[in-house]
């Protein structure tokens, strides 16, 4: 039976254990960067440290590989810090408490940080060893990936000579990732006018939708509660007059909103409630096969004078909710079943003088991402709203010709006698930053099986880590 002590006798797991002793949540990079610098100094390896705490460690080629092109091995140093309600850990001061659960490595009451600590541990193990054949290695440890790829964006790419790169931030063994989406956030601020008005106020609530990640789950037919609320308000407005006081849904721009609340004022309370219930029963019948947890509620807030949106503003907000682009825009023509371009209305927020629409845009093609950004700006102009684009990061576009991808596929076939899967993802990877700034770089992303990352249930398959490490060494040995 595997024990933690036996596991840590293997160098990859030893280094993961060492990393886990060091606080390294996003934004807290000094100590983990110092550890990497100390490692380089201990092993007499040349290194580079920048102001963003990125670290590059250089290792010369082994005998017989002196003329081979160099290769980048890349992972990020930061982890997402989440803990259970009863956990006493201070992520700024304490290490993680690791334990084994069958074939899985976990952390007690917290995220494990295998995303991307396992990558860092693999790379350190390779840098330490003289037993493996490889070309010159440029080991790149970036910072603050989880909060916007900040380290990679700040990195001086002139410090790198390699034109091929293996990123180790994938989470599915046997899958090589060959493309990822770029993205941007667009905030639309729709001005509203208010007036004092008497009537009965009602709170309309939609909840229980599945929601999910706006990249990974955008193709799973999951309804957006904000968009659904727009449809409902529009249908009710055809039969009953009302004014909107507020409409709010979602708190993360990259999450498909699963709850939305609208507070409205009417002089026809009973009629509006009946219309709402009739409309929602019909919708519930329509969506029950794929959103069977959906619920709705209407609650009286009271009668009296309220500060409501005027008629023009109420109509404008409903129009915007019904017309704002959302969901899948385009499927890939190169990769089967890949959502190539999409956007998600993740935050809908009412303020005193405006309604805010925050959307996350994604595309695996640069031109399509730019086009979608322009369309959102145009939509804002047509609705007399202001728009702001922020958080742009480039896509990593699929390469029809990739020698590194072909090497991976050949090695995988040789080791396991089956074909590897090549996939693109509709989410971001640091490969995109490198590909946008190093001309003609050839990238792949691989990794072991990790489950429930970014949650307190995160776990890493220890045998998958062993196999992925062996695969990585075999790939390096083929890169002559």
Q: How far apart are CA 69 and CA 89, in angstroms?
A: 44
More confident of the two residues 2 and 269? 269
Angle between helix axes 462-478 and 403-416 (nearest 10 degrees) is 120
Q: How far apart are CA 37 and CA 54, in angstroms?
A: 10
Mean pLDDT in residue range 42-57: 98
pLDDT over 90, % of the chain: 90
- What pLDDT is stored for residue 380 in this prediction? 98
Q: Bridge-partner residues for 355, per DSSP? A: 190, 350
The pTM of the whole model exceeds 0.85: no
Domains of the chain: 4-181+396-478 (3.40.630.10), 184-393 (3.30.70.360)
Residues 6+ apart with CB under 8 A from 457: 451
- What pLDDT is stored for residue 1 in this prediction? 60
Q: How far apart are CA 207 and CA 258, in angstroms?
A: 6
Residue 129 reports pLDDT greater than 80 = yes
State in Å, rounded, how far the first CA of the chain is from the last one: 39
Q: How many CB atoms lie within 10 A of CB 364?
A: 28
Phi-psi label, residue 214: left if phi above 0, alpha if psi -120 to 50, beta otherwise: alpha
Q: How far apart are CA 223 and CA 291, in angstroms?
A: 8
SS3 131: coil
- What pLDDT is stored for residue 252 in this prediction? 85
- Catalytically annotated residue among 28, 115, 138, 145: 145
- Catalytically annotated residue among 28, 78, 185, 235: 78
Q: How far apart are CA 112 and CA 104, in angstroms?
A: 11
Residue 397 reports pLDDT greater than 80 = yes
Mean pLDDT in residue range 82-102: 94
Q: How far apart are CA 479 and CA 59, in angstroms?
A: 15
172 part of the active site = no
Closest among 96, 95, 79 to 145, alpha carbons compared:
79
- What pLDDT is stored for residue 215 in this prediction? 86
The pLDDT tens digits of the residues spanning 285-295 come to 999 999 999 99
103 part of the active site = no
Computed from CA positions of residues 85, 88, 93, 97, in that sequence, does the dihedral angle turn out positive or negative?
A: negative
Q: How far apart are CA 248 and CA 254, in angstroms?
A: 16
The pLDDT tens digits of the residues spanning 308-353 come to 999 999 999 999 999 999 999 999 988 888 999 999 999 999 999 9
Residue 422 reports pLDDT greater than 70 = yes
């Amino acid at each position: 039976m595997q024990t933690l002590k036996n596991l840590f006798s293997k160098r990859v797991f030893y280094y993961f254990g060492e990393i886990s002793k060091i606080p390294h949540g996003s934004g807290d990079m000094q100590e983990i960067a110092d550890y990497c610098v100390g490692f380089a100094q201990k092993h007499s390896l040349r290194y580079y440290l920048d102001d963003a705490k990125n670290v590059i460690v250089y290792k010369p080629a082994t005998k017989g590989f002196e003329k081979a092109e160099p290769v980048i091995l890349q992972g990020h140093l930061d982890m997402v810090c989440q803990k259970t309600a009863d956990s006493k850990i201070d992520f700024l001061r304490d290490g993680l408490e690791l334990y084994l659960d069958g074939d899985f490595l976990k952390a007690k009451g917290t995220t494990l940080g295998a995303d991307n600590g396992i990558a860092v541990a693999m790379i350190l193990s390779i840098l330490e060893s003289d037993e493996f054949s490889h070309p010159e290695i440029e080991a790149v440890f970036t910072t603050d990936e989880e909060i916007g790829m900040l380290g990679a964006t700040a990195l001086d790419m002139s410090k790198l000579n390699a034109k091929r790169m293996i990123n180790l931030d994938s989470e599915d063994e046997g899958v090589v990732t060959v493309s990822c989406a770029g993205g941007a956030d667009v905030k639309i601020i729709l001005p509203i006018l208010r007036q004092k008005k008497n009537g009965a106020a009602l709170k309309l609530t939609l909840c229980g939708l599945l929601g999910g990640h706006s990249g990974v789950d955008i193709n799973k037919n999951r309804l957006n509660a904000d968009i659904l609320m727009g449809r409902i308000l529009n249908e009710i407005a055809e039969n009953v007059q009302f004014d909107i006081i507020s409409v709010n849904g979602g708190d993360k721009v990259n999450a498909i909103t699963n709850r939305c609340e609208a507070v409205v004022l009417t002089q026809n309370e009973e009629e509006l409630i009946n219309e709402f219930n009739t409309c929602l029963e019909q919708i519930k019948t329509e969506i029950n096969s794929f959103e069977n947890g959906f619920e709705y509620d209407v609650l009286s807030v009271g009668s009296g004078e309220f500060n409501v949106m005027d008629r023009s503003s109420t109509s404008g907000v409903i129009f915007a909710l019904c017309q704002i682009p959302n969901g899948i825009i385009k499927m890939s023509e190169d990769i089967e079943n890949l959502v190539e371009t999409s956007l998600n209305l993740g935050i809908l927020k009412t303020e005193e003088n405006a309604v805010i629409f925050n959307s996350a845009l994604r595309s695996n093609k640069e031109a399509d991402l730019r086009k979608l950004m322009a369309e959102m700006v145009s939509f804002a102009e047509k609705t007399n709203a202001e728009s702001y684009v922020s958080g742009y990061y480039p896509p990593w576009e699929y390469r029809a010709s990739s020698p590194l991808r072909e090497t991976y596929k050949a090695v995988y076939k040789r080791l396991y006698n089956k074909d590897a899967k090549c996939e693109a993802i509709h989410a971001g990877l640091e490969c995109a930053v490198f590909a946008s700034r190093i001309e003609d770089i050839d990238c792949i992303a691989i990794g072991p099986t990790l489950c429930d990352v970014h949650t307190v249930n995160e776990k890493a398959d220890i045998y998958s880590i062993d196999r992925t490490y062996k695969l990585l060494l075999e790939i390096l040995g083929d890169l002559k």
